[in-house]
Amino acid sequence: MTKFSSKAFEPHDDEEKALMESIEGEEWQSVENIEQERDKALEAAQATLKKDRRINLRLTEKDYYQIQIKAIEEGVPYQTLIASLVHKYLNGSLVSQE
């Protein structure tokens, strides 16, 4: 396997660096049926992104208009923005700007 030149590509973080080193160290092995594994991964990704539940949410008028403005600024529908905020909060990746 070809080694990456450290000048050609610098990892973004420690996790990416460890991944690069494991690839360079030939720790990875090919799977026997790549098509089957690809299909399984695709199915899992689609199931993760599937939005199959609806909720009703009451907001103050001020919050409603502010979320619509933010969604326009982000270039996404406001429902998508709300779903993204809920998802980030539940996964611990929503951080305060305080």
If you write DSSP's letter for every residue of 37-94 in order, what string do you get?
A: HHHHHHHHHHHHH-----------HHHHHHHHHHHHHHTS-HHHHHHHHHHHHHTT--
Q: What is the pLDDT of residue 67?
A: 95
Please give the distance of CA 44 from its chain centroid, rounded to a whole number. Answer: 14
Contact 48, 62 (CB under 8 A): no
The confidence band for 10, taking pLDDT boundaries of 50, 70 and 90, is confident
Average confidence (pLDDT) over 90-98: 82
What digits encode the pLDDT tens for the residues 27-80? 888 888 899 999 988 888 887 777 778 899 999 999 999 999 999 999 999 998
Alpha-carbon gap, residue 65 to 25, rounded angstroms: 53
pTM of the model: 0.50
> Does residue 9 register a pLDDT over 80?
no
Q: What is the pLDDT of residue 68?
A: 95
Q: What Rg, from alpha-carbon coordinates, does the chain have?
A: 21
